[in-house]
Amino acid sequence: MSEAAIPVERTALLIVDLQNDFLHPEGAYGRAGQGAPEITALPERVKPLADLLRAKGGYVASTQFTLVPAKGGEPLISPHLKQLRPFLTKGDFQPGAWGHELVDVLQPADLTVEKIAYSAFYMTRLEWVLRKCGIERLLVCGIVTNGGVASTVRDAHVRDFDTVVLEDGCAAFSPAVQATAIDALRPVCRVASISEVMREIEDA
């Protein structure tokens, strides 16, 4: 199905991991001094598109990275993540906690799905929810472009979702990594700007 044939009612803004624990100064990454201005700027940049989709009858979906608490509340952290982010601890990215939530400026999400790995499709109910809601087109934004965004976009592609990655709606920890990640996604899906997509929705 061509992109032009997919109505806005079957379109979702898929927000990857724009959570308090990643972005807020008092979140897990903020407390550890881990962040980038490009990442912090994303919610306000994405908000106009989220608002437009809501007004036009589309969906806003949020995937939320999750550290599943196990015995004694200690989080299950994969070895590679523990090595990469040794500051992660009990209570971080915990389901139901403030840090786990979508940032305030983008709330509320119509659909929320917990994720445990880079891809929002891996061992989650995301595909089931999208199919049940009749969603065929995904506008993907969030963090990080070379991690969760790229993995989710590729998994959406192999599931035949019409997928657009919003170049200025996602970010990495450095501009160089961002540019490389976006270029690597061009053979997989359409790459567009937020303003470009907003114009198309307004003109539909």
**pLDDT at position 127 over 70:** yes
Report residue 27 as tokens.
């979140």
CA distance 114 to 121: 10
Instruction: Provide Rg for the chain, Cα atoms.
Output: 16
Mean pLDDT of 185-191: 97
Q: What string of DSSP letters covers 172-201?
A: -SSHHHHHHHHHHHTTTSEEE-HHHHHHHH
Task: Give the count of beta carbons closer than 10 Å to the beta carbon of residue 195.
Answer: 12
| Distance from C-alpha of 190 to C-alpha of 195, rounded to nearest angstrom | 14
What span, in angstroms and rounded, lies between the C-alpha atoms of 64 and 114?
Answer: 5
pTM: 0.95
Average pLDDT, rounded, for the chain = 96
Q: In the predicted model, is pLDDT for residue 2 greater than 70?
A: no
What's the helix, strand, coil split of the chain in %, to 5?
A: 45, 20, 35
10 Å CB burial of residue 67 (0-12, 13-18, 19+) is: buried
pLDDT of 5 reads: 75
Helical spans, DSSP H, in 32-75: 37-40, 42-56
Q: Identify the residue whose tokens are 């199919």.
A: 131
Query: Tell me: the pLDDT tens digits for 162-176?
Result: 999 999 999 999 999
- pLDDT over 90 percentage in the chain: 97
CA torsion through residues 200, 195, 185, 33, sign: negative
